[in-house]
A and B are shown apart, each in its own frame.
Chain A
Amino acid sequence: MFFKLNTSIGQPFYVQLMQQIRHAAESGALQDGDQLPGIRTLAEELVVSPNTVARAYSELEHEGLLELRQGSGAFLTIKRRARGLTERVQAASRKVEDLIEELHQEGLQDNEIWRLFETALFHRAEIGAE
């Protein structure tokens, strides 16, 4: 699969990797049993510290989405429950589109909406962290 790391969104690389792998699993881009590149290979491909990839993998293993096998890499273990997520994500995506449409009609620009979302999500994340 393809990964894309963004230095300017204020999120650690390992978190971005975790989200992208999770998303791939939810959207069906990755299937149960699929193999992910090894830590070294992926680190070299993305040109990030291998510790970043190692951390993302080990946290996902902790969550039960990945299985790390010594020497042979990382394998996806998607449980039944995850499947249902696909529909939920699709429904949420429709809601977000509706909301954005509504805000447009109220005269807000894209970048203003973007900032509102960011601030609101950031606010939640900080409370959650405490």
Chain B
Amino acid sequence: MNPTPVIETIGLSKTYGKTDAVSGLNLRVMPNCITAFLGLNGAGKTTTIKMLLGMIRPSGGEARVLGRQIDSSDESVELRRSVAYVSESQRLYDYMTVAQIIRFTRSFYPAWCADTEKTLLRMYELPPNRKIKSLSKGMRRKLALLLAFARKPDLLILDEPSDGLDPVGIEQLLETLVSQCSTGTSIFFSSHQIAEVERVADRVCMIHKGRLVMDASLDEVRESYRQIDLVFNALPDEYELRMPGVERIESRGHQVRMIVSANAESVIERARAYYPSSTEVSPIGLREIFLDRVKEN
């Protein structure tokens, strides 16, 4: 009942001189899911993605994308037949027109979907005979997305796809992501827009300083991540409240604030033994979790 991951890395590392861009990354991205890849700038997201696509050679570890080894040049070409990639701030060929680059890209993909091409051309209002050089930043972004979506890839890797898009463009992008996913494409995208991630993603992987710091489904996050605020007359030792699932404890005067990733009920039960004068449980958003993880490390 365990489907093969579309992306699987085992101890994947990349070192530049003495700095570790990615260190010992173990990542699993499941098929038919929308997986978000979160991290600060310089956390190692882009390096990871470029390693997956064979643009950067790993310093250590191994990885498979759609079951193919990424460090073999031939396998890498093969896997790119079924993967579409739009990088952060990707530029296209300035000297081509919209129609020309569509024709150019189409020639590499036998499964090219003319319907998607037409729909998106209309939705994004891209003028076919305009030179790419004269398109606005947002239009170029949309064209890059069109070229990725129309390939009918098995796996779509997007690095900051909403960068440069206006709110309407972002909404259209998310809708397209959803419709691609429902036709069987697995999606792996990095983003700084936590609100959009929270809405559309099935799973979240968080990377910080080249390491994976969280891998959870959003259902899990909504169901089990809680912030517990307690007020005690006599503050118990922090140690007493430490138990599995407690991610962070902070105390200020008589107040204790805890962030738990699981077992909220047992944590509350334990806290009750110290007679809190107030117990408050509230759900916690992805944004808070993200900031917390980044701060912690």
Give A residues with C-beta under 8 Å from B: 5, 7-14, 39-40, 43-44, 47-52, 115, 118-119, 122-123, 126-127, 129-130
| Interface members, chain B 16-50 (any A CB < 8 Å) | 32-34
A40 pairs with B218, CB closer than 8 A: no
Please give, as numbers and ranges, the residues of chain A lying within 8 Å of B33 by CB-CB distance.
Answer: 49, 51
* Residues of B in contact, count (CB < 8 Å): 33
Asked if B150 is an interface residue, CB under 8 A from chain A, the answer is no
Interface 1/0s, chain B 217-256, versus A by CB < 8 A? Answer: 0110011011000000000000000000000000000000
Asked if B264 is an interface residue, CB under 8 A from chain A, the answer is yes
A47 pairs with B280, CB closer than 8 A: no
B280 pairs with A119, CB closer than 8 A: yes
Bound Cα distance from A7 to B33, whole angstroms: 19
| Interface members, chain B 245-297 (any A CB < 8 Å) | 264-265, 268, 279-285
Bound Cα distance from A48 to B175, whole angstroms: 8
From B175, B219, B225, give the contact of A14 (CB < 8 A). Answer: B219
- Write the chain B residue with the least CB distance to A120: B281
Please give, as numbers and ranges, the residues of chain B lying within 8 Å of A14 by CB-CB distance.
Answer: 219
How would you classify the secondary structure of chain A's contact residues: helix, strand, loop or mixed? Answer: helix
How would you classify the secondary structure of chain B's contact residues: helix, strand, loop or mixed? Answer: helix
Given A8-B285, A40-B182, list of 7 further CB < 8 A pairs? Answer: A7-B195, A7-B285, A44-B175, A51-B32, A122-B264, A126-B265, A127-B265
Bound Cα distance from A12 to B32, whole angstroms: 19
Please give, as numbers and ranges, the residues of chain A lying within 8 Å of B183 by CB-CB distance.
Answer: 40
Asked if B102 is an interface residue, CB under 8 A from chain A, the answer is no
A115 pairs with B280, CB closer than 8 A: yes
From B32, B198, B281, give the contact of A7 (CB < 8 A). Answer: B198
- Give chain B nearest CB distance to A110 CB in angstroms: 15
Bound Cα distance from A118 to B202, whole angstroms: 25
B282 pairs with A118, CB closer than 8 A: yes
Please give, as numbers and ranges, the residues of chain B lying within 8 Å of A43 by CB-CB distance.
Answer: 178-179, 181-182
Please give, as numbers and ranges, the residues of chain A lying within 8 Å of B284 by CB-CB distance.
Answer: 10
- Give chain A nearest CB distance to B42 CB in angstroms: 27
From A12, A50, A126, give the contact of B219 (CB < 8 A). Answer: A12
A47 pairs with B200, CB closer than 8 A: yes
